[in-house]
Amino acid sequence: MDMKEILKNSKTIAVVGISSDPSRISNWVASYMQSHGYKIIPVNPKEKGKKILGEPVFDNLLSIEEGIDIVNIFRRPEFVYPHVEEAVKVHARVVWMQLGIINREAAKLAEDNGITVIMNRCIATMHSQLSGDTV
């Protein structure tokens, strides 16, 4: 499945490592995707119980009861694997590691479980390029 198809066929994005600080890139990217019609589910144990972008924050993917299309990860590469383990357990369709994030071991785990993996790409930039929108 190519990126255009992924973005077209996805509605729900769990954003792992999102910050409540609007000046942080994780918040900006999530806000951009939300403004383009995606449901954002914030995931950050430090922010649990709060709201980010008007949505309740969860401490992990396993706490989310609704289906997740994309798990968008904003964590350093060495912290990615446990989130991918959770993505497998919740049957996410796509694991998307943001720009600068590459973890081949985690990618293999996801792919071995039928999950599409995108690494080292900004989801907002890709959406903008593929939709003709400006970021």
Q: What is the pLDDT of residue 132?
A: 76
Q: Which domain holds residue 16?
A: 3-131
Report the number of distinct structural domains present in the chain. Answer: 1
Please state, in angstroms and as integers, the Cα–Cα distance from residue 115 to each residue in 42, 84, 119, 128, following that order: 20, 10, 13, 23
pLDDT score, position 135: 59
The rounded Cα 44 to chain-centroid distance in angstroms is 12
| Residue located via tokens 């077209």 | 8
- Rounded mean pLDDT for each run of 10 residues along the chain, 135 residues in total: 91 98 98 98 96 98 98 98 99 98 99 98 94 72
**pTM for this entry:** 0.95
Q: What is the CATH number of the domain that holds 32?
A: 3.40.50.720
